[in-house]
Amino acid sequence: MTTLTEERVCINRDRTERMAETGDGKKEDADYKRLQSFPLIRHTDMPEEMRVETMELCVTACEKFASNNESAAKMIKESMDKKFGSSWHVVIGEGFGFEVTHEVRNLLYMFFGGSLAVCVWKCS
């Protein structure tokens, strides 16, 4: 059902190169980072309440396990299973493409922290 292709793009290298270009570039990046760390929903078809709850849960998880995507994903998945029913799937990463089949009104795709993308969907 899901085909995941994870691309391990060397983002860090690009970023450091950009930063090396200009000192201002560094500042800009830092500014943008700060400005862009709010959670931003890219695509969802969830109902309002569910969406808000899920978004908060994702933010909490990502902040708690900032260094470990797997644990964050695990936490999100288990909480979603408990709250909304079984068989949720969670992907957290910085660079990946995906095509998923999800139950209608049970998909959330959001960005967080300027570089993190979280995709949560239900399909049993």
Tell me the closest approach of the beta carbon of residue 1 to other proteins, in angstroms. Answer: 9
Torsion angle in degrees (nearest 10) through CA of 14, 16, 20, 24:
100
Q: Is 86 in the site for other proteins (CB under 8 A)?
A: no
121 binds other proteins (CB under 8 A): yes
Strand ranges for 24-87 from DSSP E: 40-44
Minimum distance, C-beta of residue 50 to other proteins, in the bound complex (Å): 14
Least distance (Å) from other proteins to the CB of residue 82?
A: 19
Q: At what angle do helices 69-84 and 48-64 cross, to 10 degrees?
A: 150
Q: Are 114 and 33 in contact (CB under 8 A)?
A: yes
In the bound complex, what is the minimum distance in angstroms from residue 33's beta carbon to other proteins?
10
For residue 16, the surrounding DSSP H or E stretch is helix 11-21
If one asks whether residue 109 binds other proteins (CB under 8 A), the answer comes out as yes
Which chain residues interact with other proteins by CB under 8 A? 7, 9, 11, 14, 32, 35-36, 40, 42-43, 45, 93-104, 107, 109, 111, 114-117, 119, 121, 123
